[in-house]
Structure 1
Amino acid sequence: MKIEGFEYQRVPGTDGVVLNVAVGGSGAPVVLLHGFPQTHLMWRRVAAELAVDHTVICPDLRGYGASDKPDEGYSKRSMAADVVAVADALGHSQFALVGHDRGALVAFRAGLDHPDVVTHLMCLDVLPTLDMWDVMHGTSAAVGFHLYLMAQPVGLPERMIAASSDEFFGYFLDQWASDPATIPPDVRAAYLEACRHAVPSIVADYRASATVDVTHDEDDLAQGNKLRMPVTVIQQDWGSALGFDAAARWKPWAPDLHHQTTTSGHFMAEQNPPEITTAIRQLLTR
């Protein structure tokens, strides 16, 4: 499946990795990064609206969709460098960046590592990696069982997930969509097909968030590095459900922060694209 009206290219990232990228529209560039267990298709409706007056760039992250799936290199630093390289290859030295779920963690890292490139930043339904691990404790951590499973050493997680990949990835598509109509059957099938062929790389992405990504965030925290650009965070109100203040977790990282909660489910860009499109446009005016 493709985003209607968008052109598709194979664009080099870093370390020899090539990404599948959909590009549409014209104007100031906005890069949209997908989450788990999805591909760039999650942006199909938001991208079409933004393309009216922006150049919209929707890559499959390394390890996902139709992008290359190297054996190594799944730190968010490497994945963020891919995004910067792709935009540069397409002629954009600066761009606004929006990420959902895993893509939001990549966007967060891009904002820290490339503050002169990322002009505006939006993160959907995540906490920064250090804060995510800090709030996951007790029985409430059961909601994040997949984080702990895929953090395990190479071998067992890959075999377990590959043995029933459609059931594993389908579980999240079903459980995280508060409205069953959020992900149509053809899109759901496309996501499952893509994940079926990407189990090792998806696990590697998650494993990095329990290892090297933690180190990189700890280093930034110790050095006082912050996101310099305007930042918008939109989340479900799971901070209240799990007993923490999500906005307070974000504020030390993002001094220029707008934080809001949504009544949409996790897949908010698919469930309520007007809400997300409007929020992106509002961010770009700051």
Structure 2
Amino acid sequence: MAPVIPGFDYRRVPVADGVSLNVAVAGSGSPVVLLHGFPQTHLMWRHVATDLAADHTVICPDLRGYGASDKPAADAAATADADGSAADGAADGAGYAKRTMAADIVALARALGHDRFALAGHDRGALVAFRAGLDHPSVITHLACLDVLPTLDMWDVMRGTTAAVGFHLYLMAQPPGLPERMISACPDDFFGHFLDLWTGDPTAIPAEVRAAYLDACRAAVPSIVADYRASAGVDVDHDRADRAEGRRLTMPVTVLQQDWGAALGYDAAAVWRAWASDLEHSTVGYGHFMAEEAPADVAKALRALLAR
């Protein structure tokens, strides 16, 4: 049996035509939604979620295409417009556009009885959270993004030999076919590489959780690739349009990041200030999987955000 977050109730919640999300819910009080990253599932929040559930309603879904949530074909899914309506997808990964995935999360919260909620995301989940904050500013009360840059800025800073750290971004940006075949040929090696490389404290991800992550990724190669392909296509278009229109995040925002700026030659805090007026940006000394390596610190930062 796959591990679960102790004390959390599990259910499947329909969020779009043919798409239901696997979600863990516990606690009471103001709602907080926690979105996982790659190559993980909602389990990455297990420590932080139980902490916050002491005085908040905590909602931990598997994103569309990940974990035990539904995995629609990329070319069969629809892209939700900023107002929540659907438009046809495109060959650039629109079925897994962060706009679509953000609309999933808004629909999930509403189905659980919450018209407004705080939102925190890590890695891929942070990109979904970022898009939700831009597209649904009246819904997202507070926003936290862990160890990521907005998509448009990420591509802007990836250059030269230092971009080798993001080789997977370029691999999964390729047209459908080759990336899926290559990754499916040795999925545990591929996904396990990132679990090993990005973990500052190897004990933070115990064997049973690591096995659950690998099992989930092995069963989701096409949808994970589609998610990344969208970040080299439609997601860039959406960010670029927002930048041109001067759209910004209007809610309190907290960002926790490793010091990638020093390695890649950019000012991460300045990048985020261009998107968020009410920003608390912190450079941390943990590995990428900070919610698992330093859950008490992450929970403290989220509580401070919720108090703003």
How far, CA to CA, are the matches of 2:278 and 2:16 in structure 1? 30
1:79 aligns with 2:96: no
Quote how far apart the aligned CAs of 1:68 are.
0.1
Who is 2:77 aligned against?
none
Moved over 3 A (4+): none
Say if 2:207 is the partner of 1:205: no
| TM-score normalised per structure 1 | 0.99
Matched, 1:265 2:287: yes
Shift of 1:51: 0.2
> Corresponding residue for 2:114?
92
Q: Deviations over 1:27-67 (max 9, x none)?
A: 00000000000000000000000000000000000000000
Q: Which residue identity is paired with 1:272?
A: A
Q: Percent identity?
A: 74
Query: Quick one: distance in 1 between partners of 2:4 and 2:66?
Result: 15
Specify the alignment match of 2:307 in structure 1: 285
1:12 is displaced (CA, Å) by: 1.1
Partner amino acid, structure 2, of 1:35: G
d(CA) in 2 for partners of 1:47, 1:285? 17
User: Distance between the aligned counterparts of 2:197 and 2:204, measured in 1?
Assistant: 11
* C-alpha displacement of 1:223: 0.8
What is the DSSP-based 3-state SS (H/G/I as helix, E as strand, rest coil) of the residue aligned with 1:64?
coil
Secondary structure, aligned partner of 2:119: strand
Aligned to 1:171: 193
Residue 9 of structure 1 pairs with residue 11 of structure 2 = yes
Q: Residue in 2 aligned with 1:24? A: 26
Residue 100 of structure 1: how far off its partner (Å) = 0.0
Conserved in 2, the CA contact under 8 Å of 1:30 and 1:55?
yes
Report the residue type matching 2:129 in the other structure. Answer: A
CA distance in 2: counterparts of 1:186 and 1:205, whole angstroms: 25
CA contact (8 A) 1:20 1:60 kept: yes
Code of the aligned partner of 1:258: E
Would the aligned equivalents of 1:14 and 1:78 in 2 still touch at CA under 8 Å? no
**TM-aligned CA deviation for residue 241 of structure 1:** 1.5
Amino acid at match of 2:68: A
Shift of 1:206: 0.1
* Partner amino acid, structure 1, of 2:136: H
* Partner AA of 1:247 in structure 2: A
Which residue of structure 1 aligns with residue 90 of structure 2?
none
Amino acid at match of 2:14: P
2-structure distance, mates of 1:15, 1:88: 15
Q: Deviations over 1:10-32 (max 9, x none)?
A: 00112331000000001000000
1:113 CA displacement: 0.3
Identify the residue that residue 42 of structure 1 maps to in structure 2. Answer: 44
Matched residue type, 2:231: S
2-side partners of 1:194 and 1:165: how far apart?
10
Structure 2 length as normaliser, TM-score?
Answer: 0.92
Distance 2:161 2:16 in 1: 40
Q: Tell me the distance in 2 between the aligned counterparts of 1:252 and 1:170.
A: 34
CA distance in 2, matches of 1:246, 1:175: 21
For the residues of structure 2 that align with 1:4 and 1:120, how far apart are their CA atoms? 26
State the Cα distance separating 1:182 from its structure 2 match.
Answer: 1.3
Equivalent in the alignment of 1:244: 266
CA distance in 1, matches of 2:168, 2:189: 13
Structure 2 gap ranges (5+): 75-94
Determine the structure 1 residue equivalent to 2:57.
Answer: 55
2:71 to 69, 74, 77: 69
Q: What 5-or-longer segments of structure 1 have no aligned partner?
A: none
Looking at structure 2, the residues matched to 11 and 2 of structure 1 have their Cα atoms a distance apart, in angstroms, of: 17
Output the CA distance in 2 between the equivalents of 1:260 and 1:241: 16
The answer to whether 1:149 aligns with 2:171 is yes
